[in-house]
Structure 1
């Protein structure tokens, strides 16, 4: 795991813990059986109304392998913004090249019908996707746009991350994405000013942006950018029992909803073993992006703000009553998000970056609310109240994300004693700085990592 060091560095991490699949002949349908979230979180019911038809979802990540059997026919286009990757975004980059393919299969995997020449396997299959084997994503009929970025150590392509990320967002919008998945998080709540216009561009073009909240397991105690940007739907992580995950989540006021982040599975690029078990909000985010795609397909007339509103208002409350900093508005419920009667809203309940830029970058005071109509009789001469001057925007050096790190706490074959000690230190440090630990997170167990593929 690598994190940006030094003041002002913004370390974006796609938070997950991963166990690689054991090398050897594993049948893909064994992996389909592990997708507990499809039934437990209302996704199979939601499929009766929509499977994401006609919706493009951009995956801004390390690159997606188009040759994976579960992604056949799913990729509608791609690009590379790093200067170091394949022009189509189809080659994994950086220290964790598997990450983008894992995210893509979980979001829009289509499964497959067994090995080539196996006519019996899947012959009578009538479910979603292309067959009973492999990973079926939340939106198996959505189309993917893949954008590869260099995430991790110094980019050999020479393009800094403060340029890569906004370029990726703009390309996704210009190429028809209605949802953008960003399975990356940061140790900083701030973001470079160079990102403002791109996120504003997405907002003005009615695009839903979903971002991972981050993982305590890699030292991300609080939510960081881009998940702190107003209007972005931030996803926290749950354990297998549906409670807030200790390692595979973080805390912050910008969290919108929580989704499964432990004991998940996804596809790997190339190699003998094409699947892995993994954990983290990097995995939770594409589940929510998939639900957004289902809604945009079923209700194409809804704005991005109304899509987000359906997701957060139909979420099941978790933790303390009402919105909180661990579950946000609650736990994702795909069936309710697709089928509940939800009143329309005029604006994004998570805020807008346009307003944030106006106040914090330009230093303009918030608009005063409209007052009552003036009365007809004469009023006493009251001096006009002084309007406080808006504080100067943050003037410290822009926290340029020198390193975009995919927050794997894994991609490892062996967990050492030193790793366990580090996690314990992180946990104790968090408890010491934050005070009492919420009941949902007290006594959280260490994430168990098992070897699953030879190096």
Structure 2
């Protein structure tokens, strides 16, 4: 077991390092690409000269962490996140039941590092589902391994998992679908990636076909109740060139420039736009929500996530869902929710700053005022008539009398 202090140090590295617009790359930004750091070559050889874009700053993670700590809650406290992936290396707080030994492939460590950077007090349950590094074709997701991982989650409720992160894809598997349904009934939120454009995976071609919807071919994101996550490109970038069009997408996150953990627990950089990393970001934000609202239902947490995103829940897109996740807003925006996660009909509307007409009050003098108006009109009419007739009457008074 690794100490929580290691995760806190990761949080400071990932989130709190300031970036100055227009400044040259700082030493903290000159990190090796995560894919270039291995257990046998810890130093890495590729350093990036481009400063990080600060995706976690974009989605409000520092503010969300500060808000929680100000209320006496450590971000991610008492929350366990299962990472169904290639294996989690050093640098995070591991949960009981995690796989032992140093993994061979960086992917799972990068995912776990993102979650730890957002929710440093969360525990990470390492469930490894990749084939070995030296297998034909290199490390790949094993459908049998994924099935075994979800079977284990169902069979071991004592692991007390709140969130399952599946930054991967398998073909349609009825057993996995049934396990996910069981986990949902227990209040567990399953988060999965909706797919990158260039993908060698079961049922998904490497060549992207414009306009095609992968919702019925990309799982587990395509299963009911799973939070499907896509990635968005930096300003000026082309999101559609990086990710698949998938109507199962519920929410999205920026990824290019994320700092995370290598296999050895050292900081490294993710420079690509990838749904795997975005999925980890959303799982981290859900861990913040669970630590803030321990008694909320899973549906309520997901509703907070989606209703506070940058877009609209009623106008979703296949590339971004309801929009980009907003951690601070998800934590703090007042929402009146039912257990189903939907906003109740008696929800209090947000205050309107525009001036409004006060409600009318009963007019107890309306009758008197009505009579006064008529008497005024009659009196004014009589006065006007007198003024008009006065010259005529005056002339008649001065006329000489007629002779007989």
Q: Using structure 1 for the length normalisation, give the TM-score.
A: 0.55
1:55 correspondence with 2:79 = yes
* Bigger radius of gyration among the two: 2
Partner of 1:180: helix, strand, or coil?
strand
Partner of 2:119: helix, strand, or coil?
coil
Partner of 2:95: helix, strand, or coil?
strand
Q: How large is the RMSD of aligned CA atoms in angstroms?
A: 3.4
Q: Distance in 1 between matches of 2:53 and 2:126?
A: 23
Deviation at 1:335, TM superposition (A): 0.9
Deviation at 1:243, TM superposition (A): 6.4
Residue 103 of structure 1 aligns with which residue? 111
Deviation at 1:348, TM superposition (A): 5.4
1:166 correspondence with 2:150 = yes
Q: Distance in 1 between matches of 2:329 and 2:151?
A: 35
Residue 193 of structure 1 aligns with which residue? 174
Deviation at 1:254, TM superposition (A): 1.1
Deviation at 1:45, TM superposition (A): 0.7
Q: Distance in 2 between matches of 1:24 and 1:55?
A: 30
CA deviations over 1:9-67 (Å, ceiling 9, x no partner): xxxxxxxx9753697868xxx99x737022211111111233111111111111111xx
**Where do 1:291-310 residues align within 5 Å?**
291-310=285-304
Going from structure 1 to structure 2, the CA distance change for 1:331 and 1:314 (only over 3 Å counts) comes to same
Q: 1:75 aligns with which of 91, 94, 116?
A: 94
Partner of 1:265: helix, strand, or coil?
strand
Q: How many residues align?
A: 280
Partner of 2:288: helix, strand, or coil?
helix
Deviation at 1:141, TM superposition (A): 1.4
Deviation at 1:317, TM superposition (A): 1.2
Deviation at 1:90, TM superposition (A): 4.0
Deviation at 1:334, TM superposition (A): 0.7
Instruction: For structure 2, list consecutive stretches of 5 or more residues without a partner in the other structure.
Output: 1-32, 69-74, 200-205, 209-213, 343-404
Partner of 1:145: helix, strand, or coil?
strand
Q: 1:268 aligns with which of 245, 262, 265?
A: 262
Partner of 2:125: helix, strand, or coil?
strand
Answer whether contact 1:78 1:90 (CA < 8 A) is retained.
no
**Where do 1:209-288 residues align within 5 Å?**
209-218=190-199, 219=206, 221=208, 222-223=214-215, 224-241=218-235, 245-270=239-264, 275-279=268-272, 280-288=274-282
Partner of 1:144: helix, strand, or coil?
strand
Q: Distance in 2 between matches of 1:257 and 1:247?
A: 18
Q: Distance in 2 between matches of 1:90 and 1:24?
A: 16
1:92 correspondence with 2:103 = yes
Q: Distance in 2 between matches of 1:180 and 1:172?
A: 13
Answer whether contact 1:173 1:202 (CA < 8 A) is retained.
no
Q: 2:124 aligns with which of 134, 144, 162?
A: 144
Residue 42 of structure 1 aligns with which residue? 60
Deviation at 1:255, TM superposition (A): 0.6
**Where do 1:314-329 residues align within 5 Å?**
314-317=308-311, 322-329=315-322
Going from structure 1 to structure 2, the CA distance change for 1:201 and 1:282 (only over 3 Å counts) comes to same
Q: Distance in 2 between matches of 1:274 and 1:175?
A: 28
Answer whether contact 1:147 1:168 (CA < 8 A) is retained.
no
Answer whether contact 2:54 2:257 (CA < 8 A) is retained.
no
Partner of 2:243: helix, strand, or coil?
coil
Deviation at 1:210, TM superposition (A): 0.6
